[in-house]
Amino acid sequence: TPSLQDWRDRAAKVLPAAGFGNFDPSVVIARGEGARVWDADGNEYVDYLIGSGPMMLGHGHPEVLAAVQEQVAQGFTFFANNAHGIELAEEIAVAMACAGQVRFVSTGSEADMYAMRLARAHTGREKILKFEGGYHGMSGEALMSLAPSKRVNFPQAVPDSAGIPEAVREAMLIAPFNDPDFVRGLLDEHGDEIAGVIVEPLQRLIPPEPGFLAMLREETAKRGIVLIFDEVVTGFRLAYGGGQEKYGVTPDLCTLGKVIGGGFPLAAIAGREEIMAHFDKAKAGDGFTFQIGTLSGNPVASVAGLKTMEVLKRPGAYETLRASGQRVMDAISRELGAAAIAHRVVGDPVLFDVVFTGRDVKNYRDTTDGNAEQAKTFNAVLRKHGILKPDSKFYISLALTEADLERTEAAIAAAAKALV
């Protein structure tokens, strides 16, 4: 059987940039179970990558597995309404405060693309305001964020704006996160050209300051601007009802992905019925066309998502997630504190990372003076000690056991020592 190195060599030939660029050297995962994954050489890791977020119950959860197997036997995809897709839409409409109706797509990127178009259809305006360092997917306007300067430790959020047409760039306005005065200034200047404001309620890792999201809600409502929460990461993670539940602010639209497909490709736009009505070309009469997408609303993905949500809804699930994450956060603060290394643990217990900086992190710019070498060493030592995480975060899963957390604490202690 091929070794890890064989797979690395084969990947380097056939996959541009050797495939997923998150790891140096690359990891090739052979198998996952619970909160652990194994590579082709049998090296075992505690998994804080969890498929970049979707596998909130860990890998191969028996109830999800059974539901998926049952659906697979009944058909993979129909390009027609199916019972499970309708059930999932109903569940999302109950969970998300903003959701009257739900449109399924296959990726978070598509959901954000459609949310922005929907805002344009609804307002007849073109511009979208987004936040520096925010990530809304693979399309040009969603990527557009900031010149790729010296961003540290959030590498995927530093897209290059080269190749994005001028007209698209001009349609995007960019504000620093957590800066209400800057936002108000932009809205005063451009308010009547702005169709929508798109924001991650917790931006990458950075929590909103008290009142920031409420300010966005108030200022957009005043000006007839559509407020979009990108909850692709935060939905069903920060709380069952996402960032809108956790922070008590209801947007007009939200986008969802990751968890709602239980690891299969499924994403959604959800929101007020009056805005979602623009998906109905016959009724809307606004000249916009929104296509469905061949694999959208896939029944296998729908049952995986539904079962995942059923487990997350059980008593104690979010308490367990938060307690596990808090233990890891505490271990980082404790060990780096004892080693007298300047750092901030940024985020929420379900999603966080360490930034090697001496200053408080309120927005993207505050992360750019973080020590990149320290971050690299920290991640590399964790990996050597059997912890797999993306460069930019720890994703917490419900599958983490006492043994997983103990291994993580030991690895963090070793990583702190390596930094002295």
C-alpha 177: how far from chain center: 16
CA atoms within 13 A on the CB side of 368: 13
296 binding ligand PMP? (CB under 6 A): no
- CA 118 to chain centroid, in Å, comes to 21
Return d(Cα 347, Cα 332) in angstroms, integer.
13
Q: Any contact of residue 228 with ligand PMP (CB under 6 A)?
A: no
Beta strands in 100-204 (DSSP E): 101-105, 127-131, 172-175, 194-199
Radius of gyration of the chain (CA): 21
Distance between CA 242 and CA 219 in Å, rounded?
22
**Active-site annotation holder among 39, 47, 230, 404:** 230
- Select from 219, 230, 245, 335 the one that contacts ligand PMP (CB under 6 A): 230
In angstroms, give the least distance from the CB of 254 to ligand PMP: 11
Measured from the CB atom, is 129 or 336 closer to ligand PMP? Answer: 129
270 neighbors 101 (Cβ within 8 angstroms):
yes
Is residue 258 part of the annotated active site? The answer reads yes
Site string for ligand PMP, 263-292 (x = CB under 6 A): ----x-------------------------
Judged by CB under 6 A, the residue of 232, 355, 405, 419 near ligand PMP is: 232
Stretch that binds ligand PMP, among 143-151, 227-235, 317-325, 334-342 (CB under 6 A): 227-235
Which of 88, 227, 233, 249 binds ligand PMP (CB under 6 A)? It is 233
Catalytic residue (one of 45, 48, 114, 135)? 135
Element (H, E) at 30: strand 29-33
Quick one: tokens of 342? 């300047």
CB 32 to ligand PMP: min, Å:
19
Q: Which is nearer to ligand PMP, 108 or 347 (CB)?
A: 108
> Which one among 48, 135, 177, 318 touches ligand PMP, defined by CB under 6 A?
135
| Nearest residue to ligand PMP, by Cβ distance, number only | 108
Q: Is 136 in the site for ligand PMP (CB under 6 A)?
A: yes
Distance CA 284, CA 297 (A): 22
Identify whether 62 is preceded by a cis peptide bond (ω within 30 of 0). no
Place of tokens 């925010």: 134
**What residue type is 344 in one-letter code?**
R
Residue 253 three-state SS: strand
The catalytic position among 127, 130, 246, 258 is 258
Taking CB under 6 A as the rule, which mask of x and - marks residues 93-132 in contact with ligand PMP? --------------xxx--x--------------------
- Binding mask 23-52 toward ligand PMP (x if CB under 6 A, else -) reads -----------------------------x
Residue 257 within binding range of ligand PMP, rule CB under 6 A: yes
Residue 326 CA to residue 241 CA, distance in Å, equals 20
* Burial zone of 412 (CB within 10 Å; 0-12 exposed, 13-18 middle, 19+ buried): buried
The answer to whether residues 91 and 102 touch, using CB atoms and an 8 Å cutoff, is no
Segment 167 to 206, residues that bind ligand PMP, using CB under 6 A: 200
Q: By C-beta, is 107 or 308 nearer to ligand PMP? A: 107
DSSP at 386: T
- 247 is annotated as an active-site residue: no
Catalytic, 135? Answer yes
Q: Which residue, 228 or 336, has its beta carbon nearer to ligand PMP?
A: 228
In one-letter notation, the amino acid at residue 274 is E
Q: Is 348 in the site for ligand PMP (CB under 6 A)?
A: no
Tell me how many degrees the CA angle 384-390-395 measures, rounded to the nearest 5: 110
Smallest gap, in angstroms, from Cβ of residue 257 to ligand PMP? 4
Catalytic residue annotation: 135, 230, 258
Interaction site with ligand PMP (CB under 6 A): 52, 107-109, 112, 135-138, 200, 230, 232-233, 257, 267
